[in-house]
Chains A and B, each alone.
Chain A
Amino acid sequence: MINYNRSNQMSNEESLMLLDIQKLQFAIYDLALYLDTHPNDPVALYKHKAYTDQLMQLRDAYESRFGIMSVMGHESGDTWRYINSPWPWER
C-alpha cells in the first residue's frame, strides 16, 4: 500500500493509521451523501453502521496514541496535543 501521508514530520506508523481513517471516513461521507437522497436504502444504512463502528475503534486507537483530531475528541494525555505539528498543510 502506498503511504500517501508519508512525511518527515510524522512517523510512518502515525501516517498509515491516519490513511486508514481517511479512507474509511471518505467511504462514510460518500455513503452519507447517498443516504441524504435515499434515506430508506437498507444496504447503504447497514454499511454506514458497520463503517462508523469501525471508525470509532480506529479513531480511539489513533487519538489515544497521537492526540485528538478535533476539539470534541477525548484527550487522554496530559497536554493539549491537538495543536502539535504537523498541521494538514504541513504534512
Chain B
Amino acid sequence: MNNRMFIYEKKLQYPVRVSGKDVRMAQAVLNQYGGSDGEMSASMNYLTQRFSMPLNETKGLLTDIGTEELGHMEMVATLFKKLIEGATKDELVAAGLGGYYSNHETCPFLLDASGVPWTSTYTQAKGDPVADLYNDMAAEQKARATYEGLIVLTDDPLVKDTLRWLREREIVHFQRFGEGLRLVEEYSSNKRYY
C-alpha cells in the first residue's frame, strides 16, 4: 500500500519488558521522553531539518531516522508505564513523583526527570545541511550517553536489555549521519567549482 504520510503499526520496534515496578527508574526514564537529549528531541530535529537538505540521500535518512525515533518514543513511554503501573501512594511520594501523579496520574508526559517541560529549544534546524548533520551526530552521542546513565541506574536485566538495544540504535544512527555528512560535504565542495 502506498502511503505518503505517517502510518502507525500496532507493535513496538523491540519488546519492552520489566521484572517489576520501579518508580524511581520511571522518573529517570522521562529524560529519554521529554528530556533535552531524548527521543522527542531527536525525532523533531530530524523531521524538521529534512526540508532543507540538498541531497535525496539525506532527505531519506532524516525522514527515516526521524520516524524511527517516534517509535522509540513509544518504547520509552511503554517503559515508563510498566515501571510506574500499580505504584502505591507511598511509593510515588518516596520517589518524588507525588506531584507528577496529581497532574498526570501514570500517564507519560513530556517532561524530563527533573520536571522541566520539553521545548523546541532542545532541537535545531539551522537550514544549513552541514551544521544540521554535525548537530545530529552530537545529538546521537548525547542520547547514547543518556542511555548509558540509565543502564547503570537499573538492576533489572529486562530493563537493561531494552535500554542497551536503544543505545545501540543511537550508535548506528551516528554512523549513518556521518555518512550523510560526508555526502553533503562532497556535494558542497563540488558546487564551489561552478
Contacts and interface: CB of A to CB of B under 8 A. Distances in A.
A33 B169 CA distance: 11
A89 B74 contact: yes
Prevailing SS type, chain A contact patch:
helix
Given A22-B11, A26-B13, A88-B11, A37 B74 contact: no
B57 A72 contact: no
B64 A36 contact: yes
Contacts of B179: 37-38
Contact of B10 (A30, A36, A82): A82
Interface residues of B, number: 32
A17 B109 CA distance: 32
Given A37-B57, A39-B57, A72 B14 contact: no
Contacts, number: 72
B3 interface: yes
Interface residues of A, number: 27
B13 A70 contact: no
A36 B172 contact: no
B161 to A, nearest CB: 9
A18 B7 CA distance: 18
B95 interface: no
Interface of B: 1, 3, 7-17, 56-58, 60-61, 64-65, 68, 74, 77-78, 81-82, 172-173, 176, 179-180, 183
